[in-house]
Copies of this chain bind each other. A is one copy, B any other.
Amino acid sequence: MPEYPTALGASTRDTITLLGHDLARDVMGQVGFGELAFWLATQRRPSTGETRVFEAVLAALADHGFTPTAITARLTYLSAPESVQGALAAGLLGGGSRFLGVTEDCGRFLHEQLAGRQLPADDGGWDAIALEVVAAQREAKRFVPGLGHHVHKDGDPRTPRLFEIAREEGLEGPHLRLFAAIGRVHPQVLGKTLPLNGAGVCGAALADLGLPMELLRGFALLARTAGLIGQLAEELRDPVANDIFLSVDFNNVSVPPSPYGGHDG
């Protein structure tokens, strides 16, 4: 018979454990939700400082207003109010490479750039690495993930704040340091000054916290789940989904079919 090992939730007739602890006695009432999410993902209980940085990231990503994820969750709730799980799932499905992706892309990019490098001792050393990194991306005609923002062109207010919180907690690690250096040196290479994206700095911070690289997007999605519940709660009290639907449907224009003759057609 196969066996399925797990360190997560388990129960017997009389006990319930989570991560090897008695759920009722040692977790409930003792462990905050951000702390627990970190613990579940790493099987290691975070320090108070780690929890504060992690929760600051979750706050930064929880809700960005009428994004595709929010619109989608509201429209789905309009269509299928019997299934709150469907509305949340539909919203999360928009958390892919384009809209929530910069957190993951930036964290992974920094991580790859750091692989196998000797970590420098001071800002000058970080600047040298950053110059090399930005120049290589430019050479390859690729963007630097996390550099630039389509709205906050003069600076994303989340960025300096997250650096500050990480510094206060002694958790400014190599990913954040490299990202800061990229912010300092990129104008020399690119000839213009771009802001460090707030969702990008979140990826750097999550990477410095040692969270699994493959799941960085998952933490953005966890934050967004709380935001989507907020969207649905607001939709319940002050509905707009039907107006959104009608504003699209009323402005549809029938055009003749445009036959697709194939791949080069």
Chain A positions near chain B (C-beta within 8 angstroms): 1-20, 22-25, 27-29, 31-34, 36-37, 40-44, 52, 54-56, 58-60, 62-72, 75-76, 78-90, 92-100, 111, 151-158, 160-162, 164-165, 168, 198, 207, 210, 212-215, 217-219, 221-223, 225-227, 229-234, 236-238, 240-241, 243-245, 247-249, 251-263, 265
Contact = CB atoms under 8 A, between A and B. Distances in A.
A233 B212 contact: yes
A19 B260 CA distance: 13
Nearest to A85: B95
B71 A75 contact: yes
A36 B58 contact: yes
Contacts of A4: 66, 240, 243-244, 248, 251-253
Contact of A88 (B13, B16, B27, B92): B92
Nearest to A228: B218
21 contacts: A1-B251, A4-B240, A7-B234, A7-B258, A16-B157, A19-B257, A28-B56, A43-B258, A66-B248, A71-B244, A72-B76, A76-B90, A76-B96, A79-B99, A80-B96, A85-B94, A210-B265, A215-B233, A218-B229, A218-B232, A247-B248
B90 A93 contact: yes
Contacts of A255: 5-7
A62 to B, nearest CB: 6
A65 B237 contact: no
Given A72-B90, A79-B68, A222-B226, A217 B84 contact: yes
A224 to B, nearest CB: 9
Nearest to A45: B259
Given A71-B245, A79-B99, 7 more contacts: A1-B251, A12-B151, A13-B152, A36-B58, A40-B230, A68-B79, A219-B229
